[in-house]
Structure 1
Amino acid sequence: MKSILHKAATRGNADHGWLQSKHTFSFANYYNPDRMNFGVLRVLNDDSVSENKGFGTHPHRDMEIISIPLEGDLKHMDNMGNSTVIKSGDVQVMSAGTGVMHSEYNNSAENPVKFLQIWVLPNKKDVTPRYDQITLDVSDRENKLQQIISPNPNDAGVWIHQDAWFFMTKLHQGKNISYTLKKPKKNGVYVFVLSGSAQINSQELDERDGFGLWDIDTFNISATSDTEILLMEVPMELNN
């Protein structure tokens, strides 16, 4: 097994007043040559957007963009004709492909919106842009893994143009769960602790820590407190 640990306090920080963002990997004004990606996982931003504020219309191309709201309501609009609001329990995906324009705003005048924005490099370029979102039953992740993203349009959750699988779980203190990689010879797993604390093998993980593992078939997660975790299995090679 090979691994890499990214403690929460080592992430890049962006303070724009209306936007507070923590960058696990190099992004915008934060550049660290040792923190460019984990395989095809290129961006993991932990964002908090103030009331009635947001990102104006901007372009993307050839990227799988995933938004996971944690608190509050996020308003999305794009040039494909979509105008939606996503909230905690929802997962949104946008395949930018040949090019898309979109905006994201806090839909509340009273409370901030907190969400993860995740970019995954696709295994196909110049695809037709697409948008999808799903509302999940969060009770289905209590002490078990709930699949939220896969490569398969007919599978649970939403799908992306990549051999990647994302899961979320809420583990009660003292509970254990195991994960077996779908493609252990090709993929690795990046574990991101949303809340609480957990242990993988002998590695202790706290809130907002990230832990990448590869050259491994299976591993166990032990909850050292009540914890919520996002698990992302992705190819380790950038050229697919």
Structure 2
Amino acid sequence: MAEELRLVLIVISVLVIGGLLVHGLWSVRKKDNPEAAPAERVEPMQDTPSHTPIEPKEPVIAQRDEPQFGELNFDSNEPQIDTSTAQTPIEDDLQVVQEDEVQPESEEDAPAEVSDFVIVHIQMPEGLTMQGSKLLPAVNTLGFKYSEEGFFNRHIDPAGQGPVLFRLVNMYNPGTFDIDNMEQFSTAGVSLFMTLPCEGDGLAAFNMLHSAAKKIADEFGAQLLDAEREEMTVERVRQYVEQVRAFSA
């Protein structure tokens, strides 16, 4: 049995070796004679891009420049205050207001009417402002009524009827108030002024004006100034009184 198994293995080995020899000879002959190769050949691709593998590139991320602090433009929704000194005296501005309200029928025939103004400024300390949300109830309590011109008027009648005794205006440009946006409004000062001669008792009207100015100043911690924007003194108040009396005679 062992002899038969050995014989079978020898025969199988001979067959395998012979097959390898035949395959090797055939491969060598095929290589030396390319015409014997199959007719089907793959032609090179024409007009095609190179098949060189393309290395993937990392995406380029554009860097966003962060705004510098000095370049920030803050929102202008808040009201701006013109703190520059007015080149035109406020008396001249008030004169324009007065002339716009009353025009004589005939400038040639109408006699020249002498008039004057009493002005009291209420100036906030440097860096501070009056907030409109606080200013509006304060002036309403003092009997002022908002006018179409954008000022607050104090009439003879506290209900807002009758002639105007004196007015409250914004101390800075444009001089008016926006009643619909008082919550966002702020200013560094306001001014009270009355025109001379005035309707009714001039001295009583001046006393009301001076009293209202002191109450507003106390409410906001502001300072009273005269027409020249100097500190209001007792002597200056007396001069105002004499000025009013001169037009009441």
Higher helix proportion: 2
Same-fold call, TM > 0.5? no
Q: Normalising to structure 1: TM-score of the pair? A: 0.26
Q: Normalising to structure 2: TM-score of the pair? A: 0.25
Q: Greater Rg, structure 1 or structure 2?
A: 2
Higher strand proportion: 1
